[in-house]
Chains A and B, each alone.
Chain A
């Protein structure tokens, strides 16, 4: 009989305590930096005490003036919170697309999901008159995103075996180019209604409001929860479709469910923040490199680290050319494209 010590040794690596603490500290630090940095500087104690003063029963008095209070809670806080949930969503979506497609290069942007969501949202604004922050916008974006990922998957499959990483990305790129062309056409037809669409497409949080947060949060919350609950099953998929199936996993249903969840969350993220590339590549792969390749670690950490990453990237976007602002998509692409090249090189040996 196996001894007790053997049984305790037989377990899956999760996330070790130091990494948990580090990830939590990173997110907390990123939020404080995001709230504190700007033309009106606000110190850490100011932020913390002001936050506590908004909680009942604590009787903490905010040290901030009314202008600072307004800047902090009506301008910066929604921006930071939106960047956090969008970043977490894009990272967790990237990690789950990578899992279900057995493809290290899968990313919501590269699969065409972002372009599809963008087109869906644009069509809704142009023809459906839903407004740029309507509650129906994520639904339109979802339909567009789902169309794109389905098209990319079918095209990628017919171009090469499912495991050929490059085929799927090329298919995603094809879909992206086509959807972008349609997008440009629609924009040209409706120059008046779509005045702001161009800047929205580049991605950014400069106009973020609590309303945007309220529109995106439910979708992102449910999607992340669904993906989080499947983190162990995603590990089973690492032995391939056939063996996962012989272990009792309904692979087709699982893939559909995860793609639906990741796409719904991505669509909501795109609807409120535009097209932001490479978060879904940078964050999960950094975690795989540093912590563990198990989805039990990659999925939850992607959510937390992705949030921190995009908040910090947004700080960079609004400070480097201050008082102007860089589109955040430009910043993520600046770091993401070289990173992608590295993943591309190493993924050759992974297969």
Chain B
């Protein structure tokens, strides 16, 4: 579904990402992990056409650069770490914005678009909130509204940049469970992830980035080794693994 070949991204002469090659299968949830400044977000931004890159990036067999902006937006939905949520917009209006890539340039939403938005709202249990303003929602509800907008895009690839930041533990789990459930509907998910314990439980595959390059890749149990985390995060951890997942526990030095 996604294929990167020797992806390189530079900002003002410095290379933020270099030589990243990666394949993500359909319906898979891949998480990009790594210390701050490793280039995780840059990879996501390149995939949805927000920043230029060198090398090749294929989505569903088509090179990102060759796709028009609207075409790309029908293929990939991107949820940034801190989405702009104008407080006076209603949930319905906000989710309808997700239909933008499907609308003619000057057209307004039709019946089909409202149905798609209603489906996304229902999927995220937001139907009782349609007429509420974004400013009146709690953090967890707001995050669901943002996901609903991405879902209304009806793209087959979902890119999430740190979907759990600024949520409490319970809401973090809720959001990740939701994304996991959406994956069952045929959505390929790539996300960045700060929290390694959550990453170890929800990801099919982890990609560990350090200073712009892939240094480890594979199932969580392989990537989240104490040796890797010491080498790249400078962290001292104990890793517990059982049939429910891989758990990273920080240990006092």
Bound: A168/B80 CA distance, A: 26
A232 within 8 A of partner (CB): yes
B69 touches which of A240, A250, A293, A296 (Cβ 8 Å): A250
Is B115 in contact with A7, judged by CB distance below 8 angstroms?
yes
Q: Which residues of A contact B96 (CB under 8 A)?
A: 10-12
Given contacts A230-B106, A243-B84, A248-B74, contact A6 B118 (CB under 8 A): yes
Is B130 in contact with A10, judged by CB distance below 8 angstroms?
yes
Given contacts A232-B108, A233-B105, A246-B48, contact A13 B90 (CB under 8 A): yes
Is B100 in contact with A2, judged by CB distance below 8 angstroms?
no
With both chains docked as a complex, state the minimum distance between the C-beta of B52 and any C-beta of chain A, in angstroms.
13
Task: For chain A, residues 1 to 60, give those with C-beta under 8 angstroms from any C-beta of chain B.
Answer: 1-2, 6-13
B101 within 8 A of partner (CB): yes
Bound: A87/B105 CA distance, A: 28
Is B130 in contact with A246, judged by CB distance below 8 angstroms?
no
Bound: A296/B103 CA distance, A: 16
Q: Which residues of B contact A248 (CB under 8 A)?
A: 69-74, 100-101
Residue from A1, A235, A244 with most neighbouring chain B CB atoms (10 Å):
A235
Q: Which residues of A contact B93 (CB under 8 A)?
A: 12-13, 235, 294
Q: Which residues of B contact A93 (CB under 8 A)?
A: none
Is A245 in contact with B97, judged by CB distance below 8 angstroms?
no
Interface stretch (choices B12-20, B119-127, B198-206): B119-127
| Residue tally, chain A, CB below 8 Å to B | 31
Bound: A229/B105 CA distance, A: 9
Is A246 in contact with B50, judged by CB distance below 8 angstroms?
yes
With both chains docked as a complex, state the minimum distance between the C-beta of B67 and any C-beta of chain A, in angstroms.
10
Bound: A236/B111 CA distance, A: 19
Interface string of A208-248 (1 = CB under 8 A from B): 00000000000000000000011011011011101111111
Task: For chain B, residues 46 to 84, give those with C-beta under 8 angstroms from any C-beta of chain A.
Answer: 48-50, 69-74, 76-78, 80, 83-84
Q: Give 7 new A-B contacts, CB below 8 A, not counting A248-B73, A248-B101.
A: A2-B118, A2-B127, A6-B127, A10-B95, A229-B106, A247-B153, A248-B70
CB pairs A–B below 8 angstroms (21 shown): A2-B122, A2-B127, A7-B111, A7-B118, A9-B92, A10-B95, A11-B114, A12-B90, A230-B106, A232-B107, A239-B97, A242-B50, A243-B78, A245-B69, A246-B48, A246-B50, A247-B101, A248-B72, A248-B100, A293-B86, A293-B88
Q: Which 10 A-B pairs have the closest CB atoms?
A: A248-B73, A248-B101, A2-B118, A248-B70, A240-B84, A247-B100, A246-B78, A6-B118, A293-B88, A10-B92
